[in-house]
Structure 1
Amino acid sequence: MIFEFCLTIFLVGLTIKATKRPHNFPPGPRGLPLLGYLPFLSSWDPQYPHKAMKKISEVYGPVVGMYFGPSKPIISVCGHEAVKEALHNEDLDGRPYIPAALGRTFGEHLGLMFVMGQFWQEQRRFAMRHLRDLGFGKTSIEDQMTDELGDLIKDIENESELDPERIVDLKGIFQVSVINILWAIIAGERFQRNDPKFQELLRANEMMFRAGNPVRGNIPIPAFVLKHFRFAREFIGIKSELIKPFQKFVQVTIDDHQQQNPCEGEARDFIDVYLKEMNKQKDENPSTNFTNKQLISMITELFGAGAESTSSSIGFAIIHLIRDQQAQQKMQIELDQVCGQFFPTLNHRSSLPYTEAVLMEAQRCSTIAPFAVPHSAVKDTHIQGYTIPKGSVVLLNLDAVLQDSKYWKDPEVFRPERHLNEDGTKVIKSDHFYPFGLGRRMCLGDSLAKNTYFLFTAALIKKFRFEPVENEPLPSLNPKIGFTLGYQGFKAVVTPRS
């Protein structure tokens, strides 16, 4: 009798806790004791969490509060004003406990994306300064991009010539070139396109990004459960068997640099720069944050995000232009008029408004990162007048901003002209367009990504005509779900232009 009474009191307490919310907490759907609202999220959209969150916001407003688990506040932010306010609120610059992220950084809070406080500021400041010196976002890396682009064009030409119908499989074809640009900055070398070990690393990277999604990754599963139950790790997207070979590969690269004694002579790449700083810090501060594990974690994040985001942006842009032959032709006419017989360069960019508008529209329609990397409230704060409790996970829905019908007319329609003035001679910069985020937590590699995206897509469209394969469905714009969104593999008829 006493046991039944205590159990009843316990269950009642859980129910009250699950339904009781802090004062001025954002409106949102209620959940179940222990589980919160997580079991019901897929009822709004079974495949894409960012679309589910957007549909919930249409019922409750741009700032929605709910719980995953018994005490994990999740704040979904969808409206432009609310998202922009949150991105500029330094009280939300924290990072939540994300088991899937820790699985890629030795179980420790390392790297750049998922750390915070003084550690984050110190490491980000160092990385930004030296990566920029080495070519991040600078035209000095353009020669490297041009070389990689030349190899990519040769591969596409060869595959097109080998097929009587000129059909080329474009699945994953852009990743090698994009990574080689990044790897030249990080490690001072490049991969051969047909290197089987490198291809295996790219496949592992793709599988890691497709393993989970940004909502499941925030489920507060205790560490001991993750350690002992494989299904729990797989549910939130931890793939240790995929990340360990890459970590080992990076370690071998670091060992090679150390054997060449980076303390002597001028640093050639980011690994050299970091090793110099690490050796210096060890002499002055034995508890330094500049460690071998931190270097591996930073490289892992840069490699993974760089390979995935930029190559997917190029892939989606090509798909949009295959589906809209008129836009492709208009882009080619502009490229021919401005660049003549040469490939476009970064100096041509300001003279190619329609090309720029096409690239912007492809990013708007096909968001690679529908959510910004999850934020966390480092103390009680506010969004749009609502109280956000300390420790809340804040999911900022960038896709909802880019697809907002209140601002973008017919947002589902691919229309590059929406980014141009009336006579089509100038690009209109909208404050509703920020696919890389805003604020202090903005994407570290946005300048390099923008330049690579522009040079590669523009050159490919100038060099080739991309057309649908006859008697087959058009390439799909439905993205592959994961921690980011990727384009599905597709084939096209690719014909060199005279």
Structure 2
Amino acid sequence: MIFELCATILLIGFILKMTKRPHNFPPGPRGLPLVGYLPFFSSWDPQYPHKAMKKISEVYGPVVGLYVGPSRPVISVCSHEAMKEAMLNDDLNGRPDSAVMMARTFGEKLGIMFVMGQFWQEQRQFTMRHLRDLGFGKTSIEDQMMGEVGDLIKDIENKSQSDPERIVDLKGIFQVSVINILWALVAGERFQRHDSKFQDLLRANELFFRTGKIFRGSMPVPAFLLKRFRFIREFIGVKAELIEPIQKFIKETIEDHQQRNPSDDEAGDFIDVYLKEMKKQKDENPSTNFTEKQLISTIIDLFGAGAESTSGSIGFAIIHLVRDQQVQQKMQMELDQVCGEFFPTINHRSSLPYTESVLMEAQRCSTIAPLTPPHYAIKDTKLLGYTIPQGSLVSLNLHAVFQDSKYWKDPEVFRPERHLNDDGSKVIKSDHFYPFGLGKRMCLGESLAKNTYFLFTAALIKKFRFEPVPNEPLPSLDPTNGFTLGYQGFKVVVTPRS
């Protein structure tokens, strides 16, 4: 009897301790002991976590505090003011332990996206410096970009000509082109569009992103439980087996580079540069952070993000233009007037304000990464006056800012003119539009992604007319879920423009 009483008291005490919130913690819904608010989260929106968080913020405010699991605070940030403060706060620039993300990097904290501290700074600086030297984000690789644009256009043209009704399925068609641009910098080579091995790799990468569950994946689950229990892996979206083919492919590419062993003058891609630095570092320090696993993990970060985000942006832009033929025609008129019979180049960009506004509006309405990769409070700090405890996971909701009626009139409406001045001659850069983030954690591929997105979409719209398939529903803007949002496969009537 005494034992049962003591056990009950201890259990009650444990429950009270687990449900007690820190002083000045942001307001938010309370959950259950051990699991926190996770069982109730989908009641706000059963499919899209970013929409659920936005709805919760409409009840509790722009900074919401809740718990996932027994001890992990989650801070949801859903307003521009709070977003900007959080992104520029170095105390919130950490990355949480994530079983899902570590599954991509051999179960270790590797790569450049989901690491922090000195390791992150060292690897990010090295990666960015040498990718820039190789042409990353510069006009020097524009010729290669236009080569990929030309191959894509030929592929679409052939598909259109082979169908009596000129119907083309655009599912996944942009990924190879986008990856080839990045792969040329990383590995000094390109893939053939219909290479079966590479298509398998792209499908594995896409499936990894699509099966990911960004909110559940933030739960602090010990690695040994993940290895032992399949149902836990499936619940939080860990699909390590999908990333293994990509790891193997990259490893084989690195081995090919090692066998070539080029001289300093011949080092023509990022793998060559990294391998030389790795050898130099190991000669001076056997415990260096420059390792083959780190190189593979860095390439996976670049590979995965590039394939998903930029190709997804192109896909959503085409869908918006299929659904709004008037905007498509207006964009084509501007491209014809400015570029004549040629494809648009990066130098044309400043003279194409309407085209630029269309691309911006497509990103605003169909955000590829509505929730940025999760941030982590490396120590106790403040956000809009609230106390954010050390160890908190901070979820930054770009979707909530881009769909906030305080900043955007009729935010659900696709209207490119909102990004232009009154006479339509100049693009207006809004303080409330930052699809690549802000601060030290902003997307490292921003410049390359912007140029690729512009060149591909503008060239496709100049070359073709994209129209809905008769007697079928319009292509859907409802995204496929996952770590990022993807566009659904869709078919359109594609007609070459004279």
TM-score range, shorter chain: over 0.9
Question: Shift of residue 222 of structure 1?
Answer: 1.9
Report what 1:497 is aligned to.
497
Report what 2:55 is aligned to.
55
Q: Structure 1: where are the runs of 5+ without partners? A: none
Report what 1:348 is aligned to.
348
Deviations 1:317-359, CA, capped at 9 Å, x for gaps = 0000000000000000000000000000000000000000000
Report what 1:24 is aligned to.
24
Aligned residues of 1:212 and 1:237 also touching (Cα < 8 A):
yes
Deviations 1:19-62, CA, capped at 9 Å, x for gaps = 31111110110010111001000000000000000000001100
Q: Matches of 1:264 and 1:432 in 2, distance apart?
A: 45
1:437 lines up with 2:408 in the alignment = no
Question: Shift of residue 231 of structure 1?
Answer: 1.3
Q: Matches of 1:361 and 1:243 in 2, distance apart?
A: 33
Report what 2:277 is aligned to.
277
Q: Matches of 1:264 and 1:383 in 2, distance apart?
A: 48
Report what 2:427 is aligned to.
427
1:109-148 maps to which residues of 2 (within 5 A)? Answer: 109-148=109-148
Q: Matches of 1:7 and 1:222 in 2, distance apart?
A: 26
Aligned residues of 1:17 and 1:70 also touching (Cα < 8 A):
no
1:452 lines up with 2:438 in the alignment = no
**Counterpart amino acid of 1:407?**
Y
Q: Normalised by the size of structure 2, how large is the TM-score?
A: 0.99
Aligned residues of 1:374 and 1:395 also touching (Cα < 8 A):
yes
Q: Matches of 2:139 and 2:435 in 1, distance apart?
A: 22
Q: Matches of 1:369 and 1:6 in 2, distance apart?
A: 49
Question: Shift of residue 236 of structure 1?
Answer: 1.6
Q: Matches of 1:396 and 1:404 in 2, distance apart?
A: 14
Of stretches 236-245 and 64-73 in structure 1, the one that deviates more from structure 2 is 236-245
1:64-463 maps to which residues of 2 (within 5 A)? Answer: 64-463=64-463
Deviations 1:279-335, CA, capped at 9 Å, x for gaps = 000111111100000000000111111000000000000000000000000000000
Aligned residues of 1:113 and 1:301 also touching (Cα < 8 A):
yes
Question: Shift of residue 221 of structure 1?
Answer: 1.5
Deviations 1:201-260, CA, capped at 9 Å, x for gaps = 000000000112221110111222111001111222211211111111101000000001
Q: Matches of 1:372 and 1:329 in 2, distance apart?
A: 33
Q: Matches of 1:113 and 1:4 in 2, distance apart?
A: 49
1:36 lines up with 2:36 in the alignment = yes
Aligned residues of 1:18 and 1:32 also touching (Cα < 8 A):
no
Q: Matches of 1:68 and 1:14 in 2, distance apart?
A: 17
Question: Shift of residue 264 of structure 1?
Answer: 4.6
Aligned residues of 1:262 and 1:275 also touching (Cα < 8 A):
no
Aligned residues of 1:262 and 1:276 also touching (Cα < 8 A):
no
Aligned residues of 1:23 and 1:387 also touching (Cα < 8 A):
yes
Aligned residues of 1:213 and 1:484 also touching (Cα < 8 A):
no
**Counterpart amino acid of 2:139?**
T
Aligned residues of 1:381 and 1:389 also touching (Cα < 8 A):
yes
**SS of match in other structure, 1:75:** strand
Question: Shift of residue 5 of structure 1?
Answer: 1.5
Question: Shift of residue 263 of structure 1?
Answer: 4.4
Report what 1:483 is aligned to.
483
**Counterpart amino acid of 2:367?**
T
Aligned residues of 1:372 and 1:396 also touching (Cα < 8 A):
yes
Q: Matches of 1:285 and 1:41 in 2, distance apart?
A: 48
**SS of match in other structure, 2:414:** coil
**Counterpart amino acid of 2:98?**
I
Deviations 1:47-91, CA, capped at 9 Å, x for gaps = 000000000000110000011111111000001000010000000
Aligned residues of 1:167 and 1:491 also touching (Cα < 8 A):
yes
Q: Matches of 1:4 and 1:134 in 2, distance apart?
A: 69
Q: Matches of 1:464 and 1:245 in 2, distance apart?
A: 36
Q: Matches of 1:266 and 1:371 in 2, distance apart?
A: 41
Q: Matches of 1:206 and 1:192 in 2, distance apart?
A: 18
RMSD, aligned CA: 0.8
Q: Matches of 2:262 and 2:10 in 1, distance apart?
A: 61
**Counterpart amino acid of 1:177?**
S
**Counterpart amino acid of 2:355?**
T
**SS of match in other structure, 1:440:** helix
Q: Matches of 1:4 and 1:92 in 2, distance apart?
A: 44
**Counterpart amino acid of 1:232?**
I
Q: Matches of 2:256 and 2:179 in 1, distance apart?
A: 20
Aligned residues of 1:281 and 1:288 also touching (Cα < 8 A):
yes
Seq. identity, %: 80
Question: Shift of residue 10 of structure 1?
Answer: 3.0
Q: 4+ residue runs of structure 1 moved beyond 2 angstroms?
A: 262-266
Q: Matches of 1:38 and 1:6 in 2, distance apart?
A: 30
Q: Matches of 2:220 and 2:116 in 1, distance apart?
A: 19
**Counterpart amino acid of 1:104?**
R
Q: Matches of 1:262 and 1:17 in 2, distance apart?
A: 61
Of stretches 238-247 and 159-168 in structure 1, the one that deviates more from structure 2 is 238-247
**SS of match in other structure, 1:8:** helix
**Counterpart amino acid of 2:439?**
G
Of stretches 9-18 and 402-411 in structure 1, the one that deviates more from structure 2 is 9-18
Q: Matches of 1:327 and 1:439 in 2, distance apart?
A: 33
Deviations 1:365-418, CA, capped at 9 Å, x for gaps = 000001111000011001000000001000000111111111101110000000
Report what 1:470 is aligned to.
470
Question: Shift of residue 122 of structure 1?
Answer: 0.2
The 1:287/1:461 distance shift into structure 2, 3 A limit, reads: same
**Counterpart amino acid of 1:82?**
A
Q: Matches of 2:425 and 2:267 in 1, distance apart?
A: 44
Deviations 1:150-207, CA, capped at 9 Å, x for gaps = 0000000000001111100000000010000000000000001111000000000000
Q: Matches of 1:459 and 1:217 in 2, distance apart?
A: 38
Aligned residues of 1:317 and 1:457 also touching (Cα < 8 A):
yes
